[in-house]
Chains A and B, each alone.
Chain A
Amino acid sequence: MPVVKIELDRFAKMVGAKREEILERLPFVGLDIEGVERDSVRVEYSPNRPDFGTDFGIARAMRGLLGKEVGLPRYRISDSGMAVSVDRRLADIRPHIACAVVTGLDLDQEDIRQIISLQEDLHNGLGRKRRAVAIGLHDLGATKPPLAYRAVDSSFKFVPLEGTTELTIEEALDRLPEGRLYGGTLPREGPFPVITDSEGTVLSFPPVINGNATKVTQNTKNVLIDVTGTGKKQGDDVLAVLATTLAEAGGMIQSVSISSGKSVRTTPDLEPRALRLDLALIRSTLGLDLSRKQVVQALGRSRMGVRGNSALGPRYRVDLMHPVDVAEEVALGYGFDRIGSAYPPSRQPGSFNAFEDFLDSAATVMADSGMTELMTFELVDHAMLYGNFGRSSSARISVHEPRSSEHSLLRDSLLPPLMAALSGNVKSEYPQRVFEVGRVYLREGDDVSERWHLGCLVAHSQSSFSEAKMYLEAACRTLTGVEVSAKASELWAFAPGRCASAWAGARALGHVGELTPESVHAFGLKVPVSGFEIDLTALRELLK
């Protein structure tokens, strides 16, 4: 989740409230306080509320919640007179562009830090790492309108941001870190989108990098924002968040005319979004018998408006989809801590799941036999599961791109993780008798069968097949009354001649034996190990 750092003195001025009041109410706008320092606080916000990406946006909400400034925020928009034409050849590549001009800015360093942080969060969140939406900020004074959003080929040249020499598009994609990071969203063979002005100066090569000629500096007072992407709505969402945030920072918003063939539209779109004001739904969702006046008042504190049977949400609120979202805004404006709670007693008895109970009893029986229960991970690595036993991994079940190779395969047996557990305990007292009741995954062609197994290992200088078999028989008998019979058998985990399959009548349950000397050695153990593993799912089925 993205994080915003709020400097408390600056923020208190923006809100017009005391620090203590601010700290106490921050969680009630839906922000998680991640850390509080002497002069600042770091808050986490959900990516569905990109308008919380700066202290400006949070202050806007906070003023509402504290009743200092309620209802829809109003932003005056004048016409910049600027026009952008869109090349139809971009229709299949990155068709949408929206722009806005913000003038009269006087940003200090903290303002700039906040806005850069917002831009990054927007790129990663709504922008889906620039694939869906990419943003460019430019020094308005360095551009010569009208602008063109054009398709060019890979030999097209421009000077990228912070560069001194011209690069072709192809070179930019290959050589610049941004090219390698974001170039993948464009077709390799082109054409490629660029934004140029009337003199051919490149403002941007979206979604990769801006041009150097229109670079924003600390002295820039007037900016041009371009937002390009694959979807119109997402682009407009991002632009609304950015433009209104800059307006909160003291700027004046101006519109830009976008023409694509014969259709012309004006951006930014800051038209409030209307949702049905469903009073019955609001009352039943919150469990509060609120009057319409109370609802309107609460919505005002959530910076929303009401017109007739519609609730109006500011355009920067990209999370409002359904009348139930209005209900939550009422709850927020009303105050979550004022709603009150009522536990509804149950009208029916509860019950445990019979199979889960069976697993629990299996653990109890084993613990009562003197075993220590372990809970190991189901995702394991290759050496533990296959390598140390010298067995084939052809039936392995892998997860896609695990972050750590220690969690790359789903186990099909409990014996390897139990052996690994013993190997981590060689300094503990022997005898060591351990067991696990755990889930295993068996490959059946292109499907997976999930089973619950009981695995058990006994490690000490006198550990033997007969001891393991004794525990196996006792467990089955005590748990289910089933008498297990053993037949000479083989399994990768057990030494030849020291392994039996365990049967309940005609039903195979698993194996018991002495671990191969090779595996004992591979896990770094210095005592013989015997054990068993049976299928509890199968054992349980016998009882039905």
Chain B
Amino acid sequence: MSSSLHPLERRVLSALSKEGTLPFAALVTRSGLKEDQARRALQWLSTKGMVDIEETSVVRLEVARTPPELALMKMLAAAREPPTVEWLRGQFASPEEFSAAFGRARASGWVVVGGSDRSAVKGTGSDGPKALEEIIASVSRTGRGEDGPGRKEVVADLLKRGLLRRIETKETSVSMTPAGNAAVSSTVSAELSDRLTSEALSSGAWREKGLRPIDVEAKSATFFPGRRHPVRDFIREVKETYVSMGFTELTGDSIHPAFWNFDALFIPQDHPGREMQDTFYIEGMSDRKLVRRSVVANVASAHEDGWRTGSTGWGYSWRVEEARRLVLRTHNTVLTVRALSESKERETRVFAVSKVYRNENLDYKHLAEFHQMDGIMVGEGLNLRHLMGFLKEFYMKLGMKDVKLWPTFFPYTEPSLEVVGYSDVVKAWIELGGSGIFRPEVTLPLGVKVPVLAWGPGIERLMLMRFGLEDMRELYGSDLSWLRNRVELAGR
């Protein structure tokens, strides 16, 4: 059955499939629809040429009066002895009626008059009365009486005598066209079920009942599969790249003493970057356990006069209170440098991909919370050429084929490099992140005597390119329409 049929249409065609033609009222009953539903469905079906709707005249007969001769015959049958003409006349409402009945019965040979005084009325045992009775019964039951040999004339006579009436009515009848037949031909004549039920499966009823066809071209409900966040997937990709290059993953807290976030990286205590407008300090908390001893003392001296690093130092007087303040890490180098101070291995590669925090006003290229993918490579003999080699390899694996390495400045690396990559999206060279070799003022106070290559680029710019976005805020906007509808393979 064509899938474009409406369920109402299907019900109508099913109801018609047995008879081919039905009066409207019968169709309503048979289909189980309401009248207006059936009417609507018929309108659609007739437009499609699947049904013909015909207005027909139907003629039916009605009994106006029982023929008086039949009444006469009943009286005769009921009497014990053949009654007299006089008596019978008295049984009728009027002498005219009796005359009609008696005359008709005698003429038809149903009765004779005999006896001693020639006034007794006797039945002849004719079949006539019975045949007439059947005609009358048929008319009152079905509206028809002329079907049968010889009945047609009888009915015509009865009509003429006014004993039967002819009643004419208009009726809507519906019949299936060949197109309608074709539409139902795919369905078996047995009844169909809307769905396969457990009951039908266990009782075996599914063998008798097929499934009612449905409109398989209709629109279905919208569904959104569960999704991991695209940033999570990208971070995973970065982590896999690191691990494939022999790096071990680090993780750690977001809140650290300023000492590890700044001082250990040789960032002087009055450095503009440490000021409130760039860094989130935790209100009313500090690391009271931090004292100027061992590593902390080495770092403090490196700031003041260079300690044993061969540096002049920054030439100011270092304060432990400043180093105790708690900050939300401004870079993940805080994690790698803490790992560096704890591990005494002479060769190691570690990385961390996680959030960093900056006291910024949000705009399309600034967020207060974003991600960096910091790493360090520690080992005897590592140098600037190795750093450049690593960065090119790493970015190539992340899909940036064309990167340039330009000199730049960071307080804790020397030499320092800026990684610049060509973006096909914005058609320009864009800064991807900083890197360098840790200064001796950073490594020696921690007890590290081999070169440390370090880098800490952000990942948001790479993600904007990957996802075709222009505003970093969109990445973390929790916009369900983007998160649910984005194409999984976009940018690959």
Interface string of B378-397 (1 = CB under 8 A from A): 01011111101111110000
Closest to B385 in A: A287
Q: Is the CB of A285 within 8 A of B383?
A: yes
Closest to A450 in B: B253
Given contacts A342-B388, A448-B282, A448-B285, 5 further A-B contacts (CB under 8 A): A48-B409, A321-B441, A322-B309, A343-B390, A351-B243
Of the candidates B270, B312, B393, B416, the one whose C-beta lies within 8 Å of that of A128 is: B270
Of the candidates A363, A407, A410, A428, the one whose C-beta lies within 8 Å of that of B232 is: A363
Complex interface: chain B residues within 8 A of A428 (CB): 480-481, 484
Interface string of B398-427 (1 = CB under 8 A from A): 000000111111010011111010000000
Interface string of A348-373 (1 = CB under 8 A from B): 11111101100010011011111111
Q: What are the 6 tightest A-B residue pairs by CB atom distance, in nearest-first order? A: A346-B246, A287-B383, A343-B389, A341-B388, A287-B385, A350-B243
A367-B228, A450-B254 known; A377-B246 Cβ under 8 A = no
Closest to B328 in A: A399
| B247 CB within 8 Å of chain A | yes
13 example contacts (A-B, Cβ-Cβ < 8 A) are as follows: A328-B415, A336-B417, A339-B385, A340-B385, A343-B392, A343-B393, A346-B247, A353-B250, A373-B232, A377-B476, A399-B283, A401-B276, A421-B478
Cα A344 to Cα B404 with chains together (Å): 19
Closest to B315 in A: A233
State which of A7-15, A28-36, A241-249, A504-512 sits at the interface with chain B: A28-36
| A178 CB within 8 Å of chain B | no
Cα A336 to Cα B451 with chains together (Å): 19
Cα A341 to Cα B420 with chains together (Å): 15
- Number of chain A residues whose Cβ lies closer than 8 Å to a Cβ of chain B: 92
Q: How distant is B221 from chain A, measured CB to nearest CB, in Å?
A: 10
Q: Is the CB of B228 within 8 A of A403?
A: no
Cα A377 to Cα B362 with chains together (Å): 12
Complex interface: chain B residues within 8 A of A347 (CB): 246, 347
For window 389-415 of A, CB contacts with B under 8 Å fall at 397-404, 406-407, 410
Complex interface: chain A residues within 8 A of B418 (CB): 32
Q: Is the CB of A46 within 8 A of B250?
A: no
Complex interface: chain A residues within 8 A of B441 (CB): 321-322
Q: Is the CB of A30 within 8 A of B407?
A: yes
Complex interface: chain A residues within 8 A of B451 (CB): 284-285
Tell me the dominant secondary structure on chain B's binding face. mixed
Closest to B273 in A: A47
Cα A30 to Cα B414 with chains together (Å): 12
Of the candidates A285, A324, A337, A349, the one whose C-beta lies within 8 Å of that of B246 is: A349
Closest to B239 in A: A352
Q: Is the CB of B228 within 8 A of A399?
A: no
Cα A448 to Cα B326 with chains together (Å): 10
Complex interface: chain A residues within 8 A of B248 (CB): 350-351, 353
For window 457-483 of B, CB contacts with A under 8 Å fall at 475-481, 483
Complex interface: chain B residues within 8 A of A350 (CB): 242-249, 349
| B229 CB within 8 Å of chain A | yes
Q: Is the CB of A286 within 8 A of B276?
A: no
A353-B250, A363-B232, A372-B227 known; A332-B407 Cβ under 8 A = yes
Cα A397 to Cα B377 with chains together (Å): 36
Complex interface: chain A residues within 8 A of B283 (CB): 397-400
Of the candidates A367, A379, A421, the one whose C-beta lies within 8 Å of that of B369 is: A379
| A132 CB within 8 Å of chain B | yes
Complex interface: chain A residues within 8 A of B255 (CB): 441, 448, 450
For window 340-381 of B, CB contacts with A under 8 Å fall at 347, 349, 355, 357, 359-362, 368-369, 377, 379, 381
